């Protein structure tokens, strides 16, 4: 992990049947090709998520077919659908129960920002107010190909994560929280609607 | 050494009902909202005695998206895409029910070709809804994966048709007041005919897998019996009502659209148990195929939109209307009150899933907790419609 090997030397060695790799590459290669998503659907997008797992789009080609119903066994949470204020605390709880390293895909307009239901009184304006999101996919609902694209983006992200050094992955830094506060039902709205650890509300510039 | 033959002595088995063993001790279990078989974010608080359900309280509202309130603050046309997201399996029938109630409110006529197209799309929707329902139901029963893959394979073919027609796989937003948005692309009808011709293979396969299967019969027959009296009193509609033996189909009763022009039968159940509800879907798919074949023969080229309807700034006269159709899940109705403005004064959805879910406790009492998932699967709910 100290000195990166020369790429040409490595490919030449590969032709002779010798594979040279670093611990970090091997580790990330294993992680990115067996992502276990949490089997967890919220609304319309969940049906497209099932279609992605079904035979035609077949997320198994990317090593993500093992949908686990228990958050303890899952690496990836696909927030597929509208998050309501009643559901948001459960989602944060599920996220907190997942073991590190964990990743989140916000699937669809509703999970990103509230989508078409944003004006409603009961819909959360984006799940990234409560938990950190790695990949956003727009669409209402996104096509299965879009979900596969998000999955590949996540694989790229996992592949580029470093195991040591100053710029190592977030989940390896001890000061980085692994759990986030579960929002409570306040008098008018969910409390901690702006979670300073994750979400910074945009500052509006007024002339 | 002489061999001795040991005979097993009769073991005292616990009584089947389990009631005598755990007298008075109830265990309360919260199933959901995150549960692999609750079809979305549905939660049930179940009180168990051993493994037998003694009480069941459904908890709704995890997907309440203010559908009705948004509809009242939006133009009539603006609500059309939102109806897609009610029951996200059947956007076409949702569109139709909403278009029908607005057409009733404003007294709009629909051209002939559009009516035929609506029937074709509604029956295709019914096919894919029932196919995926059976996949999910068998999934809940423990046939993990395989039936669902078969069902989604068929569903994808129909979704391709929807996509080439409307531009979207699931959220079609296809119907308009006084017709449909656009005509079929070239070759669409032929592709639809091909898919309809090949669909019976899937139903045959599924029937072979399901009808005589010992596990399916053991898990579903005499489980979750819904009596006809209770079904009528609770306002159940759709395949669930007919599985209890009540002959009531809005396609026949109201004769909306062009349904009186087609010959089709209404399958009826005898026992009202989960098996009947399951078979009802299989039989209904066969009837849908016969309607589709007749519609393909009868449909003629022509206009698909009533030219007199003003799409922009649409203002229906003061009044109220209730339009309903036989959706794949049951009676889907929209109740609209107009005060003459651009927005409806009141916009109310009568969702079939929600009303059908009201009898869940009656169906589940006395059965084991494993049966609850099977019964819930046979009720066929979609949370987008239940919570709205």
Cβ-Cβ contacts under 8 Å, A47 against chain B = 88-89, 170
- Which of B155, B169, B384 lies closest to A143 in CB terms? B169
Question: Is B82 exposed, middle or buried (CB count within 10 Å of its CB: 0-12, 13-18, 19+)?
Answer: buried
Three-class secondary structure of residue A46 per DSSP: helix
Report residue B2's pLDDT band, with 50, 70 and 90 as the boundaries: very low
Q: Domain B67-387 is in which class?
A: mainly alpha
Question: Is B207 exposed, middle or buried (CB count within 10 Å of its CB: 0-12, 13-18, 19+)?
Answer: middle
Q: What gap in Å lies between CA A179 and CA A181, rounded to an integer?
A: 7
Give every strand in the sheet of B319-326, ordered side by side.
B319-326, B331-338, B346-350
Q: What gap in Å lies between CA A88 and CA A42, rounded to an integer?
A: 11
Q: Which residue of B has its CA nearest to A82?
A: B63
Residue-wise pLDDT for B276-293, tens only, equals: 998 899 999 999 999 999
pLDDT of residue B94: 92
Q: Which residue of A has its CA nearest to B145?
A: A54
Residue-wise pLDDT for B318-372, tens only, equals: 999 999 999 899 899 999 999 988 889 999 999 998 998 889 888 888 888 888 8
pLDDT of residue A118: 87
Candidates A87, A181, A85, A77; CA nearest to A133 is A77
* DSSP per position, B279-319: HHHHHHHHHHHHHHHHHHHH------B-TT---TT--PPSE
Instruction: Write out residues in chain A with pLDDT < 50, as ranges.
Output: 1
pLDDT higher than 80, residue B19? no
Rounded to the nearest angstrom, the minimum Cα separation between B75 and chain A is: 14
For the ranges B96-100, B208-212, B216-220, the one whose mean pLDDT is highest:
B96-100
Candidates B273, B267, B306; CA nearest to B286 is B267
Q: Is B82 left (phi over 0), alpha (psi -120 to 50) or beta?
A: alpha
Q: What gap in Å lies between CA B144 and CA A29, rounded to an integer?
A: 29
Q: In terms of DSSP H, where are the helices of A16-107?
A: 23-32, 44-53, 88-97
CB interface of A with B, residues 60-119, below 8 Å: 69, 71, 81-82, 84, 86-87, 90, 94, 116-117, 119
Cβ-Cβ contacts under 8 Å, B140 against chain A = none
Q: What gap in Å lies between CA A93 and CA A117, rounded to an integer?
A: 23
Q: Give yes or no for a contact between B85 and B384, defined as CB atoms under 8 angstroms apart.
A: yes
pTM beyond 0.80, yes or no: yes
Q: Is B29 left (phi over 0), alpha (psi -120 to 50) or beta?
A: beta
Cβ-Cβ contacts under 8 Å, A119 against chain B = 66, 70, 73
Residue-wise pLDDT for B142-185, tens only, equals: 888 788 888 899 999 999 999 999 988 889 889 988 888 888 89
Instruction: Spell out the SS3 assignment of B52-96.
Output: EEEEEEEECCCCCCCHHHHHHCCCCHHHHHHHHCCCCCCHHHHHH
Judged by CB atoms closer than 8 Å, whether chains meet at B153 and A117 is answered as no
Q: Is B85 on the interface with A (CB under 8 A)?
A: yes
Judged by CB atoms closer than 8 Å, whether chains meet at B88 and A41 is answered as no
A63 phi/psi in degrees, rounded to 5 = 80, 25
Interface test with chain A among B41, B60, B89, B152, by most A beta carbons within 10 Å: B41
Report percent pLDDT > 70 for chain B.
94
A144, A146, A148, A149: CA torsion to nearest 10: 170
Q: What gap in Å lies between CA B101 and CA B336, rounded to an integer?
A: 7
B331 phi/psi in degrees, rounded to 5 = -75, 115
Q: Is A19 on the interface with B (CB under 8 A)?
A: no
Q: Is B144 on the interface with A (CB under 8 A)?
A: no
Cβ-Cβ contacts under 8 Å, A50 against chain B = 148, 152
Interface test with chain A among B31, B34, B156, B385, by most A beta carbons within 10 Å: B34
Other beta carbons within 10 Å of B131: 27
For residues B222-237, give the mean pLDDT. Answer: 89
Judged by CB atoms closer than 8 Å, whether chains meet at A120 and B65 is answered as yes
Cβ-Cβ contacts under 8 Å, B86 against chain A = none
**Please, which residues have CB within 8 angstroms of residue B287's CB and are 6 or more apart in sequence?**
B264, B265, B266, B267
Q: What gap in Å lies between CA A136 and CA A149, rounded to an integer?
A: 10
pLDDT of residue B309: 83
Q: What gap in Å lies between CA A55 and CA A163, rounded to an integer?
A: 35
Other beta carbons within 10 Å of A115: 24
- Which of A40, A48, A120 lies closest to B66 in CB terms? A120
Judged by CB atoms closer than 8 Å, whether chains meet at B63 and A43 is answered as yes
CA B356 from chain centre, in angstroms, equals 10
Q: Give yes or no for a contact between B302 and B179, defined as CB atoms under 8 angstroms apart.
A: no
- Which of B61, B153, B384 lies closest to A86 in CB terms? B61
For residues B191-205, give the mean pLDDT. Answer: 91
Three-class secondary structure of residue B22 per DSSP: coil
Number of CB pairs < 8 Å for A and B? 89
Rounded to the nearest angstrom, the minimum Cα separation between B62 and chain A is: 5
Q: End-to-end distance of chain B based on CA atoms, in angstroms?
A: 77
* DSSP per position, B103-150: HHHHT----HHHHHHHHHHHHHHHHHHHHHHHHHHHHHHT--SHHHHH
- Which of A46, A54, A84 lies closest to B65 in CB terms? A84
CB interface of A with B, residues 32-61, below 8 Å: 39-44, 46-48, 50-51, 54-56
Three-class secondary structure of residue A207 per DSSP: coil
Q: What gap in Å lies between CA B156 and CA B133, rounded to an integer?
A: 14
Report residue B197's pLDDT band, with 50, 70 and 90 as the boundaries: very high
Q: What gap in Å lies between CA B248 and CA B326, rounded to an integer?
A: 10
Q: Give yes or no for a contact between A1 and A163, defined as CB atoms under 8 angstroms apart.
A: yes
Cβ-Cβ contacts under 8 Å, A69 against chain B = 34-36
Candidates A198, A70, A179, A35; CA nearest to A126 is A198
Strand B179-180 and strand B175-176: the pairing is: antiparallel
Domain coordinates in residue numbering, chain B? 67-387
pLDDT of residue A2: 57
Q: Give yes or no for a contact between B38 and B31, defined as CB atoms under 8 angstroms apart.
A: yes
Judged by CB atoms closer than 8 Å, whether chains meet at B152 and A94 is answered as no
Q: Which residue of B has its CA nearest to A80?
A: B40
pLDDT of residue B14: 47
- Would the CA dihedral through A43, B170, A129, A149 be positive or negative? positive
pLDDT of residue A3: 67
């Amino acid at each position: 992990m100290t000195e990166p090997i020369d790429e040409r030397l490595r490919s030449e060695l590969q032709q002779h049947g010798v594979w040279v790799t670093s611990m970090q590459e091997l580790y990330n290669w294993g992680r990115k090709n067996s992502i276990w998503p949490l089997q967890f659907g919220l609304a319309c997008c969940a049906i497209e998520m099932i279609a992605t797992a079904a035979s035609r789009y077949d997320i198994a080609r990317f090593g993500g077919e093992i949908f686990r119903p228990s958050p303890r066994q899952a690496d990836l949470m696909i927030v597929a659908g509208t998050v309501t204020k009643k559901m948001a605390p459960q989602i944060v709880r599920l996220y907190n129960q997942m073991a590190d390293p964990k990743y989140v895909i916000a699937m669809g307009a509703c999970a990103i920002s509230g989508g078409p239901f944003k004006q409603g009184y009961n819909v959360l304006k984006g799940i990234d107010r409560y938990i950190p999101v790695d990949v956003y996919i727009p669409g209402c609902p996104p096509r299965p190909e879009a979900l596969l694209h998000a999955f590949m983006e996540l694989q790229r992200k996992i592949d580029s994560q470093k195991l040591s050094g100053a710029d190592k992955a977030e989940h390896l830094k001890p000061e980085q929280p692994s759990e986030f506060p579960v929002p409570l039902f306040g008098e008018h709205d969910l409390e901690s609607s702006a979670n300073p650890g994750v979400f910074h509300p945009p500052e509006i510039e007024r002339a | 050494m002489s061999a001795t033959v040991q005979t097993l002595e009769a073991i005292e088995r616990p009584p089947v009902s389990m009631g005598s063993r755990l007298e008075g001790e109830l265990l309360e279990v919260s199933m959901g909202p995150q549960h692999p078989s609750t079809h979305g974010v549905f939660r049930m608080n179940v009180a168990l005695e051993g493994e037998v359900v003694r009480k069941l309280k459904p908890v709704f509202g995890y997907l309440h998206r203010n559908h009705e309130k948004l509809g009242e603050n939006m133009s009539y046309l603006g609500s059309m895409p939102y109806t897609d997201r009610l029951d996200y399996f059947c956007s076409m029938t949702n569109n139709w029910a909403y278009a029908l109630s607005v057409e009733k409110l404003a007294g709009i006529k629909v051209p002939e070709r559009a009516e035929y197209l609506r029937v074709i799309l509604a029956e295709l929707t019914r096919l894919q809804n029932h196919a995926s329902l059976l996949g999910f139901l068998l999934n809940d029963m423990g046939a993990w994966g395989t039936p669902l893959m078969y069902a989604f394979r068929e569903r994808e073919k129909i979704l391709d048709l929807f996509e080439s027609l409307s531009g979207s796989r699931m959220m079609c937003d296809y119907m308009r007041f006084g017709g449909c948005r656009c005509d079929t692309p070239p070759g669409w009808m032929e592709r639809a005919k091909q898919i309809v011709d090949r669909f019976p293979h899937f139903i045959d396969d599924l029937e072979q897998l399901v009808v005589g299967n010992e596990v399916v019969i053991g898990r579903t027959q005499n489980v979750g019996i819904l009596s006809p009296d209770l079904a009528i009193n609770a306002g159940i509609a759709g395949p669930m009502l007919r599985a209890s033996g009540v002959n009531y189909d809005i396609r026949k009763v109201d004769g909306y659209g062009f349904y009186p022009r087609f010959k089709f039968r209404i399958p009826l159940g005898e026992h009202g148990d989960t098996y009947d509800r399951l078979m009802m879907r299989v039989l209904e798919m066969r009837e849908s195929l016969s309607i589709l074949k007749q519609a393909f023969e009868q449909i003629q080229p022509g206009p698909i939109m009533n030219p007199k309807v003003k799409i922009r700034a649409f203002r229906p006269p003061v009044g109220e209307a209730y339009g309903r159709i036989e959706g794949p899940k049951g009676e889907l109705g929209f109740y609209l009150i107009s005060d003459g403005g651009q927005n409806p004064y009141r916009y109310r959805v009568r969702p079939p899933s929600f009303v059908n879910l009201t009898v869940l406790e009656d169906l589940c009492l006395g059965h084991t907790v494993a049966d609850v998932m099977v019964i819930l699967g046979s009720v066929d709910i979609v949370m987008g419609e239940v919570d709205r």
